[in-house]
Amino acid sequence: MSDLLERLRGRGWRMTAQRRVVAEVLEGDHVHLTADEVHARAVVRLPEISRATVYNTLGELVSLGEVLEVATDKRAKRYDPNAHRPHHHLVCARCGAIKDVHPGGNPLADLPDSERFGFTVSDVEVTYRGVCPTCAAA
């Protein structure tokens, strides 16, 4: 039984086969799948699971703070189970490969008050872009 499922049970989640499978697909901290990729993998274990349930479950996991939504590419949202250690992303512009990175520095502190326009700034998302070794070789 994964940590994630334990926490969800503790939060009063009704445990269903569908939710279990979605959580299992997200196991491992270095996964960044789209909703339909999650669905495709879930169907292997539970053929009758629907797209709607996958979308619903992912949305709930995001609301609970157990999974992050990231916009590394400009198409589908990606779902990141590594929600408990802050990090950013490095994306290959050619193949879309995504790596978790932990830069030094504090980008939030780098935004002076004069550049905040009265906003209450709470979060910063950093996406590095480049070309991965595999794509550079090819």
Partner DNA sequence: AATTGACTTAGACAATGTCTATTGTAGGAT
Partner DNA sequence: ATCCTACAATAGACATTGTCTAAGTCAATT
Binding residues (CB under 5 A) for Zn ion: these are 92, 94-95, 97, 132, 135
Query: Interaction with Mn ion in 7-66: which residues (CB under 5 A)?
Result: none
82 binds, among Zn ion, Mn ion, its own copies, none (CB under 5 to 8 A by kind): Mn ion
DSSP 3-state of 80 = strand
Choose which of 2, 5, 56, 64 interacts with DNA (CB under 7 A): 56
Query: Whole-angstrom Cα distance, residue 18 to residue 24?
Result: 10
> Is residue 72 within 8 Å of 91, Cβ to Cβ?
yes
Question: What minimum distance in Å lies between the beta carbon of 90 and Zn ion?
Answer: 11
**Sequence-separated (6 or more) residues with CB below 8 Å from residue 55:** 35
Question: What minimum distance in Å lies between the beta carbon of 36 and Mn ion?
Answer: 18
Query: Whole-angstrom Cα distance, residue 60 to residue 55?
Result: 9
* Site for DNA, rule CB under 7 A: 13-19, 34-36, 46, 48-53, 55-57, 59, 74-77
